[in-house]
Structure 1
Amino acid sequence: MCGIVGHLGPSNSVDVVLEGLRRLEYRGYDSAGVSFISKNDELLVYKKEGKIGNLEAELEGKDIHARSCIGHTRWATHGGVTDYNAHPHVSTKDGIAMVHNGIIENANEIRNELKEQGIYFESETDSETFLGLLIFHKRQGTPIKEAVIKSFERIEGFSAFVVLNRETDEIFAIKKGAPLVCGSNEVNSEVFVSSDPYALAGMATRIYFPEDNVLCHLSVKNNQLLNFYELDGSKTHRYMSKEQTIDHDPASKGDFEHYMLKEIHEQPELIRSLTQYYFQGEGKESLESAIKLPMDAISITACGTAYYAGLVIKDYFESNNRIRCFTEVASEFRYRNPILSQNELAMFISQSGETADTLAAQTMCKEKGMKSLSIVNTEGSTLYRDCDVNLMIRAGVEIGVASTKAFTQQVLTGKTLSEVISNGGMSDDLRNSLSSRYSLLAERVEQLLDNTKPIKDVADAIYKYKGFFYTGRGAYFPIALEGALKLKEIAYVHAEGYASGELKHGPIALIDEEKVNVALVGEDLFEKTVSNIQEIKARKGLIVSIGPKGKEDLREISDHYIELDFDGLGDLAPLYVNVVNQLLAYYIAKNLGTDIDKPRNLAKSVTVE
């Protein structure tokens, strides 16, 4: 979840690392810090609680030039949000600095052992125990490369570490189950390391994804600036290499106030481009491979927003293909003893491709001999590398912590696979049909985005209420769950999603004049859904209905009625409704003055349990 950046080269490394950290701040913003070797050959560290702006203020006016630097933006797991718990952790005496992303599960055991050896700890973090191990080995006379390996071998849990060594002016990086990417720019003789390839966009021309337990060595002393080693010290090719294709525009928010709003507005064009990618572009081969996978049943595993996308995809496969599907929350699935079959498909959904629980679930299915398919946004991510087939959602970089466009693209990617299977393969007729339907959805979303005033007016009227119940039936139930999650994430208000028919089984006891029911109403089961709304209305709940236009009975029972044109959308209508949910959450959060792009306590990519 934390952001890591390292650089070695002729440019001022501190500037390079700070730029990378700015891009990764959405991964954690409890604190930020940098450590570098100065022109006087001193190992220096600057770190501050809070957002990167606090660190930049600390550095302002200082004459800093460095050819090597590592940096970190933190999402706290162990230890409070303080300056001394911020990374990098440094021993100036031993000339070592390190940053860490992940959780060291045996940290207490290691800490106690090292204290007995006279190692002193300055922070409350689990991360500092890795620095303690490095110090211990170095004081035993162990060369730094071997010290990194020996220290890493003691660690239990998923982690990535980056180490800066003053004596040799080198950077080492290694990981197990956590994201790590290296980069190079041969023209500029620069090498990089990060937890996310986005940090290296526009800087590295080539990126490398090392496998677990591979030591990455960044050094100007070698013929190659970047080398990879096994834990026994031998050179290895256990990494994937590709050209860097991610673009970065420093002003990428454009005229939008927040990244989240920008990403909501990007959805129409992304929707239109999906069929072209899968029927005429690079995605065609992946889609053809996907339909050949065993599918007696499908196990769909994900977390958060991706899990809710999986619920919608489940409806498509069961309704259109009559394939039995099981949806699982990855954090629970990995610790159960599920019944799995090699004739079934294991499907995993993740924006980042680095979600720790999802990766663990994928590993478990792989060990059981199941074929696996990812619906993923990040090419080269761990999930992408480990699955048999990958379907890219083509959402582009998503900066806002609360996912918007990725949800839409995940669902449509699953929908596309379902349609191709139902059709018995790919064809021009299917391509034309899907293109037409997706274009209609994109058009309706554009019309919605061109006139957001009705949604904003509703947000203005309800933002001070104390609780929100999102309800829906059938395909709208997952949309209700996702809508409630968006409001919780960015507005910090209590919100729950329920199947409309479940309200009488307990939740309706909470309804009073301080509660809002955001009722998602489709054309199917319309009368039953209206009946559920009337039950809430009778208990003085405020009703916000989002549903088909021109329904007078819905208008009569609603305090606020957001009318939508469902004509021709069919089973794509839930995605149309979800855009309303996204905008409603956005405007409520804006009224409440929260940090919409970087909501408290959250990080974009959950790379720890």
Structure 2
Amino acid sequence: MCGIFAYLNYNVSRERRYILEVLFNGLRRLEYRGYDSSGISIDADLPSPAAAPVYAGSPPLVFRQEGKIECLVRSVYSEVDEKDVNLDTAFNVHAAIAHTRWATHGVPAPRNSHPQSSGPGDEFWSSTMASSQTTSWGMHMHYCNYAGFLLVLKETLIRHGFTFESDTDTEVIPKLAKFVFDKLHDEEGDVTFSQVVMEVMRQLEGAYALIFKSPHYPNELVACKQGSILILGVNVSACLFVLWDGYKQAY
């Protein structure tokens, strides 16, 4: 069980310090019961023009911590000091994810917190929200059946060279996104972020909402849902909230 809050500012300058506070406040609004870990993903500084970029953008800065939201807040501000991250850096466009977790698969620990990574290179990060109290993906079936399905998918990825570092089942999702991206890129060349996510959705079952971030697609977030509720808020001169009720959608 979990809650996800994402924030994207577009064509409006926001300092990293401001963005962090928006994320923390979003998580505080979600902290209404026994959540035991949390994490955030924010943009790193742009790579030097002299450096040969591996991706279109830089891998994000990710912070994850066990405990209440305030444990994450203290940890983030401690880490940014250690890593000499400039909180005054302003971004005209910035995409960020925040996630709070109530452990149902894997003990409360930073490695099991979200966002979860696709592996070395951190090419894809994802956060998962589900509607079931028994599994992270919200599959409405006996746990043994769910575990069997997940094991097949996980074993397939392992055969393709993926390794798993956490105890949480949803680590499969960003790794699946990386697998899909590589496959589509080899077959079709340029592929959009939404194409990757839609193909990931075709491989999943159950009720869920997901959000993805990738250095391959800087300044973009893709949110998707199947069954679960996803709310999109747009703030221009006023605030408009739209509730998307469709069964299976990506944005």
What TM-score comes out, normalization by structure 2 length?
Answer: 0.74
C-alpha separation in 2, matches of 1:207 and 1:27: 24
C-alpha separation in 2, matches of 1:132 and 1:162: 14
| 1:44 equivalent among 50, 61, 81 | 61
The aligned runs of 1:52-451 (5 Å cut-off) are 52-61=69-78, 62=80, 63-64=86-87, 65=89, 67-91=94-118, 93-102=121-130, 103-104=136-137, 105=146, 106-140=149-183, 141=185, 142-168=191-217, 169-187=219-237, 205-210=239-244, 211-216=246-251
Judging changes above 3 Å, is the alpha-carbon distance between structure 1 residues 153 and 27 closer, same or farther for their aligned structure 2 residues? farther
Query: How far did 1:146 drift?
Result: 1.0
> Equivalent residue of 1:26, what SS?
coil
Letter in 2 for 1:83: P
Counterpart for residue 2 of structure 2: 2
Letter in 1 for 2:111: Y
- Greater RCO, 1 or 2 (C-alpha within 8 Å, sep 6+): 2
Contact 1:3 1:27 in 2 (8 A): no
Contact 1:33 1:73 in 2 (8 A): yes
| 1:16 equivalent among 12, 16, 22 | 22
Counterpart for residue 368 of structure 1: none
Letter in 1 for 2:231: V
Query: How far did 1:159 drift?
Result: 0.9
C-alpha separation in 2, matches of 1:8 and 1:56: 20
Letter in 2 for 1:36: I
| 1:30 equivalent among 33, 36, 48 | 36
Query: How far did 1:207 drift?
Result: 1.1
> Equivalent residue of 1:77, what SS?
coil
Query: How far did 1:90 drift?
Result: 2.1
Letter in 1 for 2:22: V
More helix by share: 1
Judging changes above 3 Å, is the alpha-carbon distance between structure 1 residues 29 and 95 closer, same or farther for their aligned structure 2 residues? same
More strand by share: 2
Judging changes above 3 Å, is the alpha-carbon distance between structure 1 residues 144 and 120 closer, same or farther for their aligned structure 2 residues? farther
Identity of aligned residues (%): 31
C-alpha separation in 2, matches of 1:157 and 1:44: 30
> Equivalent residue of 1:48, what SS?
strand
> Equivalent residue of 2:165, what SS?
coil
Query: How far did 1:16 drift?
Result: 1.3
C-alpha separation in 1, matches of 2:250 and 2:34: 25
Number of residue pairs the alignment of both structures matches: 200
Letter in 1 for 2:195: E
Deviations, residues 88-131 of structure 1 (Å, cap 9, x unaligned): 11246153211001233432221111111111211111211111
C-alpha separation in 2, matches of 1:15 and 1:96: 24
Contact 2:117 2:175 in 1 (8 A): no
Considering only aligned residues, what root-mean-square deviation do their CA atoms show, in Å?
1.9
> Equivalent residue of 2:169, what SS?
coil
C-alpha separation in 1, matches of 2:123 and 2:163: 15
Counterpart for residue 49 of structure 2: none
> Equivalent residue of 2:152, what SS?
helix
> Equivalent residue of 1:57, what SS?
helix
Query: How far did 1:57 drift?
Result: 0.8
C-alpha separation in 2, matches of 1:155 and 1:53: 33
Contact 2:123 2:178 in 1 (8 A): no
Query: How far did 1:77 drift?
Result: 1.4
> Equivalent residue of 1:152, what SS?
helix
C-alpha separation in 2, matches of 1:2 and 1:185: 25
Unmatched 5+ residue regions in structure 1?
Answer: 188-203, 217-609
> Equivalent residue of 1:214, what SS?
strand
> Equivalent residue of 1:184, what SS?
strand
What TM-score comes out, normalization by structure 1 length?
Answer: 0.32
Query: How far did 1:134 drift?
Result: 0.2
Query: How far did 1:8 drift?
Result: 0.8
C-alpha separation in 2, matches of 1:2 and 1:137: 25
> Equivalent residue of 1:170, what SS?
coil
Judging changes above 3 Å, is the alpha-carbon distance between structure 1 residues 118 and 87 closer, same or farther for their aligned structure 2 residues? same
C-alpha separation in 2, matches of 1:133 and 1:117: 11
Query: How far did 1:161 drift?
Result: 0.3
Letter in 2 for 1:136: F
Deviations, residues 511-566 of structure 1 (Å, cap 9, x unaligned): xxxxxxxxxxxxxxxxxxxxxxxxxxxxxxxxxxxxxxxxxxxxxxxxxxxxxxxx
C-alpha separation in 2, matches of 1:42 and 1:124: 23
